[in-house]
Amino acid sequence: MKHPAPPIAPIIPLLVGMVAISFAPILVRYSDAPVSVQGMYRMLLTFLLMLPFGSKHFPAIRRISGKDWMLLFFAGFFLALHFLLWMASLTYTSIASSTILLSLEPVLVMIGTFFLFKDRASRLAIFGMIIALAGAICVGSGDMSVSREAVFGDLLSFLGTVAVAINMLIAKQIMTRVPSYLYSLIVFFVTFVCFAGYNIAMGIEMFDYPSREWIVFLLLAIIPTVFGHLIFNWLMPYVKATTISMSVLAEPVGASILGMMLFKEMVTHTQLIGGAFIIAGLYIYLKGEQQPKNEKITGAINKEQAG
């Protein structure tokens, strides 16, 4: 499929997005506020930043069906669960381990699409998935020698990755009917409401924070969300989806480097080996996903003819 020409060279927003998403775990670490409060204000401020640019999309809200509103709610719920679990993982495990495990999202989405939509992956994609999962096991086993807390943090990061994979599976169903801007705006607001409800239910203070914390909340909304994920969404019509997926793999690399520079968190041998396996596996997986869909059909026909 031929993509339209973007207003600027794609490499520029791609680089901006790759650097921006790498700052997410760094900003989470700099905040002393509960992660549910960080997540709540990250979503609220992103929603408010997006709101002025949505006037042309608002009429489409009336065309959203009841079923799609339910899907939008669940997408927001699982996005909130993702942020809650993943951001909490940074309290227990290293930035490197947490972000390396987070990069397994495409593999979990592939597994989900197989069971939900019977969307079969190529052999190359499955091979890449196996390599990536082996890397995740390597990271987890290495952290077992560090502490139980580190393993607990790895588990939180993995469960957070499962939650965001479910969010992506819901998006796969609904984005054909709801414009991407409206999808993001509504889901971000639902995520904010979920966080607010959680904070109220748990009796967590939501307002009495020093100015430093409010700056971090704002930076979480602006840097990794607006200049990261929203830029990647904006690029979707102009570049291949696999290009975006490969760009997201920059997060564990960039975040690990920043973690070493700012928090003196040195990357261990098992993190390095496991991370290399995960990134290599995801690269192979994405290459496999690029194969033409009719390749499997052709292979099946040839096999039948041969038999």
pTM to 2 decimal places: 0.84
HSE value, Cβ hemisphere, 13 Å, CA-based, for 32? 5
| pLDDT of amino acid 158 | 94
CA–CA separation, 21 vs 37, rounded Å?
A: 19
H or E segment to which residue 162 belongs: helix 148-174
Q: Residue type at 79?
A: L
Answer yes or no: are the C-beta atoms of 43 and 188 closer than 8 Å: yes
| pLDDT of amino acid 276 | 87
Residue holding tokens 């997410």?
A: 24
Answer yes or no: are the C-beta atoms of 206 and 40 closer than 8 Å: yes
| pLDDT of amino acid 193 | 98
| pLDDT of amino acid 291 | 64
| pLDDT of amino acid 297 | 39
For 266-291, how does the pLDDT look when each residue is reduced to its tens digit (9 = 90+)? 888 888 888 888 888 878 877 786 66
| pLDDT of amino acid 241 | 58
Q: Residue type at 148?
A: R
What average pLDDT values come out for the chain (307 residues) when binned by 10 residues?
70 88 94 97 96 88 94 96 96 90 83 79 84 83 78 94 91 84 93 98 97 97 91 75 66 85 85 85 78 47 37
